[in-house]
Every structure is written in structure tokens, then in C-alpha cells.
Chain A
Amino acid sequence: MVEFLPLKQAVAENLHDGDAVAFEGFTHLIPTAAAHEAIRQGFRELTLIRMTPDLIYDQMIGMGMAKKVVFSYVGNPGVGLLRRARDAIENGFPRAIEIEEHSHAGMANAYEAGAAGLPCAVFRGYRGAGLASVNPNIKSVTCPFTGEVLAAVPAIRPDVTFIHAQKADRKGNVLVEGIIGIQKEAVLAAKRAVVTVEEVVDNFDDLHPNLTVLPSWTIAAISVAPGGSHPSYTHGYYERDNAAYLEWDEIAADRDRFQTWMQKNVIESAADDFAARVEHLRKAA
């Protein structure tokens, strides 16, 4: 049964050292508050799974929490490279990490297979692509009906998935709107899921019947974290802080500056600080 918990408790109860964890969000609805809580609690030896690792995985890698990263695009979207991830891959700093690299199509299909309870995903992909020769988890199968050779990748089944969403109702059902990315598949593929939301409303009675709603019984815990996806955004609540993404490129470029920034903005901060960070990004009503 879903529980409404303070974020600190939701993270402590659902994430453990050594877990395979997905903090998903395809540019939109990135669960930054949950990721920062995980950083404060100092988990180790994590396998970090995400299509677009982005700032929060750059931060976790830079803090030495990751043993392995599974991804399909390890960049700062629209800005360039992820400099802490680069330092780990190129120089083994602060520790060497294993990588398992896919394409977006490969990861999206693998999450979908996880949600569908299948052992693997089958799709038309990786043809001529170098990834197929460096990632042993990219294989092929032959269609028994047409003989076409198709790509196969194992299903993704995280121990725990964290996502951010617009709102929950009092029963714990969750609404996701806008660029929904891989949110639903990542929740349904996981053994347990934790959702941070902007707000809790009485009920979802007035919603359009085809909206993306995750029923309460698919979620382990919900935490209210207004502004919790900053510097990403929450459609209908606040805009993407593009300037912060540009600024991150400079912060992460330097090991000391990164540590100083993390100390001030993550270690010595709390989930409650996110609301103030998005105040200037809320649209005038």
C-alpha cells in the first residue's frame, strides 16, 4: 500500500547500498529532490540506470556513489558534456565506474519490456552501430515469421525507481502530464517506486479519462516536494531553468568547485529548499 512519507524517510526505506536504481525523467520531471536526498544519505555501490543521466547522475558519480551507470545519452542536454561523468570514465576519478551504453530506442524498449514482464525487448535497431560490438548486452534474434534479424536487449528491472510528477490525490494515485518520457514504464518495471509530487489534491474526479495516471497500488511511497525537479521543470507549475544547466557546465568542470557547490547546495540543504529555487520560474497566473 502506498504511504505518504517525508522524502528523507521515503528514500531511507526504499534505497539501499548496492541497489540498481533509476531516477528517471526525460528532460522534464527529473527527480532532483529525491536524488539530492540520496546523496545526503550517502549510498554506495549503486547501479545508476537512466536514459539521460544529466545533472543528478553527474552529481552522484562525482560524489563516488556509482559502481555502474546504464545510459543512452551521457550529456548535459543542449549544453554539452557531463564533466564529472567524464572525469570518472576518462580518469577513474573519484573512482572508476563500469558503463553499459545503449541507444534511446534500446533503453526505451528495455524499460517497456521490464514493465511488460518480458525477459527482453526486440526491436529494429543498432544496425551498423558500434555499440553492438562494445556492449555484450546487445544481441540479436531472428523473427520466426519473416526471418528478419532484430536487436534484442535484456529488460530493465530496477530495484527501485524514483520519479517526479505533478500531483497525487489523497488515495495516492499519481498524475503525470506533459513530456511523460519513460516515467510510467520505469515505475512499472521496478520492484518498488517512489514518487515526489508538487502537491496533493482531494481527488482526480475532473480529469480527462485518458491521462497518464499511475494507480496508488503501483507505488511504494509518495513525498510532497514542491519544486522537486529543479533545474528541470514541472509542466503547469514552473519552467526549465536553462541558465542553471548552462551554469552547471562551469561548476562541474572543476573538482574543487564541484565539491564546494555540492556542500552548500546539497549536503547542507534540505528537500524544503526546492520551493524557493523555482519561485522565479513560475508563470504569472
Chain B
Amino acid sequence: MSDTIDRGFTANEMMTIAASRALKSDDVCFVGIGAPSAACNVARLTHAPDITLIYESGTIGTTPDVLPLSIGDGELCETAVTTVAVPEMFRYWLQGGRISIGFLGAAQLDKFGNINTTVIGDYAHPKTRLPGGGGAPEIATSSRQVYITMAQSKRGMVEKIDFFTSFGHGDGGDHRQRLGIDTAGPTLLITDLAIWKPDPVTKEFTVVSLHPGVAREQVQDSCGWVVKFAEALDETPAPTELELKTLRDLQARTKAAHQGTAKGKAA
């Protein structure tokens, strides 16, 4: 795309790097696969070297050299501080309140940070059956905060999601508290176009920063609800050379590693 030529980085790279910047060295982050995994590892390889990354396969404090294809690649275990059983992961570490950030992706998202990764259409007779929640329903309610990252599209960012896989702010306001959920829920959404934060009262996601070169109309045109913009709108700083190089090197190593296993495979 001309995107890269114009700005020197792609929208997806900007998304991953903006997401990585939200993480700190003292965070204990429960990492969803895909975009969150890339962002978390860029954070670890740049400004947050001591961040604790946890994958639901039980690997705690993992430092993979390449991005895992699955949440249970051997690399995660080999580079972890310790690896625990899956029931222990969910009972002691997540339910026990040890996770500061749950980092999730989404197939379908609404303006209150509710996520659907279960079905498109009716649950009993789905138009498209998606993989489902996995660890996400409890990551969304037991992590102290939730960050969400996804590329924008009208299909993905919708007024009403088809299924509540992971509860965000429900109908907004104090809906979480009314359900007895005492964690903060989604506090940050990073897309390929902007950074969003929930309104302190309504909890509706509001654009607080546009990525370089992105216009308000682009954000609205790729979002299924009427977008609210903060009065003081920032521009997200462009990726630094170090951030871009770190991300691209990581992705190149990952690509080589995952394709490599096909070699020598019997026909």
C-alpha cells in the first residue's frame, strides 16, 4: 500500500506500536494471541524489559524470541520463569487477582468494550461459528484492567454485538458494578487509526488520539457506531526507528520460524 511509502510505516505497525507503549515494566500482562501478543513483545523488547507476560497455557514471565503461533508454543515454556497447570493459571493467577492488564483482541466490538468472538448471527443457528471465548470471559472480568486492540472495520466495530463473549462495560455507566464485577474493565482501545478511552461516566469509547495522517472521517467511516471525539484531540507520536526495527525484526524472525517447519515434510 502507498500507506507505507507515505508515512514510512503501515497502519498495522502503528497500531501494534501504540499498543506496546501502553504497557509498563511492572505490568503483569495476560496476553491474547495475535495483535496483543506482538504489542506485548515489542513493549518487552523496547521500553518495558521487565514486563511479566503470561499466556493462558500456563507460561509465566515468558520471553519468546519469536512470536508464538499458538498460546502454547514450546518457545513460551522454554523461556518462561515457570510454567503452571492450566487450572492453576485460571484459579490462582487470574482469579487470584495477580494480573494487572488483560490484553485482548476482538472479532466484534461495541462502543462499551463488549467483545464477541463466539458467533456471527444467532447462537443456536449461527451464520458463522467463531472459535469462542477460550480464556477471555474471565480475563475480561478478573484482570484489573483490560486493553483491547483490533483493526477498524464496520463489520468489526458494531452498534450491537451478536454475542457477549467477554463483558466490557455492558450497557455503559456502572453496569459492571451492578453485576458484582469489581475490576476496571476496558480502559484502552488501540486501533489501526486511533487511541480510544472510555468516557469516565458513560464508559463509551471516545477517540483521544489520532495516529499520524489519520482524519476523523476515516475513523468514522470504518466504525459502525457514531464516533465521539475528545475535545482536546492528540496526535499519536509516529513510531520511532527503534520501535519499527524491533517490530519488523520480530515479525521476520517469526515468519522464518513458522515456515521453517514445513521443510522436509513428507509429501
Task: Enumerate chain A residues within 8 angstroms of B57, measured Cβ to Cβ.
Answer: 26-28, 179, 181
Q: Is the CB of A108 within 8 A of B137?
A: no
Q: Is the CB of A242 within 8 A of B132?
A: no
B58, B70, B126, B257 — which one has the most chain A CB atoms within 10 A of its CB? B70
What is the minimal beta-carbon distance from A78 to any residue of chain B, in angstroms? 4
Task: Enumerate chain B residues within 8 angstroms of A86, measured Cβ to Cβ.
Answer: 128-129
In the complex, A123 Cα to B135 Cα: how many Å? 14
Q: Is the CB of B128 within 8 A of A90?
A: yes
Verify if B164 is at the interface (C-beta below 8 Å from A): yes
Residue of A nearest to B121 (CB): A90
In the complex, A211 Cα to B57 Cα: how many Å? 17
Q: Is the CB of B164 within 8 A of A130?
A: yes
Q: Is the CB of A179 within 8 A of B83?
A: yes
What is the minimal beta-carbon distance from B157 to any residue of chain A, in angstroms? 18
Partner of A77, one of B70, B137, B163, B263: B70
Q: Is the CB of B87 within 8 A of A182?
A: yes
What is the minimal beta-carbon distance from B69 to any residue of chain A, in angstroms? 4
CB contacts under 8 Å to A, within B69-97, are 69-74, 76-78, 83, 85-87, 89-91, 94-95
Verify if B136 is at the interface (C-beta below 8 Å from A): yes
What is the minimal beta-carbon distance from B258 to any residue of chain A, in angstroms? 4
Verify if B134 is at the interface (C-beta below 8 Å from A): yes
Q: Is the CB of B259 within 8 A of A185?
A: no
In the complex, A279 Cα to B266 Cα: how many Å? 10
Q: Is the CB of B134 within 8 A of A85?
A: no
Q: Is the CB of B133 within 8 A of A128?
A: no
Task: Enumerate chain A residues within 8 angstroms of B68, measured Cβ to Cβ.
Answer: 78
Query: Number of residue pairs across A and B with beta carbons under 8 Å?
Result: 202
**Known contacts A128-B167, A179-B72; A105 and B137 CB within 8 A of each other:** yes
In the complex, A131 Cα to B164 Cα: how many Å? 8
Q: Is the CB of A103 within 8 A of B77?
A: no
Q: Is the CB of B262 within 8 A of A128?
A: no
**Known contacts A243-B261, A244-B265; A185 and B87 CB within 8 A of each other:** yes
Task: Enumerate chain A residues within 8 angstroms of B215, measured Cβ to Cβ.
Answer: none
What is the minimal beta-carbon distance from B113 to any residue of chain A, in angstroms? 11
Task: Enumerate chain B residues within 8 angstroms of A243, measured Cβ to Cβ.
Answer: 258-262, 265
Q: Is the CB of B85 within 8 A of A181?
A: yes
Verify if A129 is at the interface (C-beta below 8 Å from B): yes
- The digit string for B120-159, where 1 denotes a CB below 8 A from any CB of A, is 0001101111111111111001100000000000000000
The 10 A-B residue pairs with the shortest CB-CB distance, nearest first, are: A27-B72, A75-B131, A128-B167, A243-B262, A77-B70, A280-B264, A78-B69, A73-B134, A130-B164, A108-B87
* Chain B contacts to A: CB under 8 angstroms: 33-34, 56-59, 68-74, 76-78, 83, 85-87, 89-91, 94-95, 118, 123-124, 126-138, 141-142, 163-167, 170, 175-176, 179-181, 257-266
Q: A74-B129, A149-B180, A243-B258 are in contact. List 14 more A-B contacts (CB 8 A).
A: A51-B86, A72-B133, A75-B131, A104-B133, A105-B137, A125-B137, A127-B180, A128-B167, A129-B166, A179-B58, A242-B73, A242-B261, A245-B69, A246-B258
18 example contacts (A-B, Cβ-Cβ < 8 A) are as follows A52-B134, A78-B68, A85-B129, A86-B128, A101-B132, A104-B90, A104-B135, A124-B142, A125-B95, A128-B179, A131-B137, A179-B72, A179-B74, A180-B86, A243-B261, A246-B258, A279-B264, A280-B261
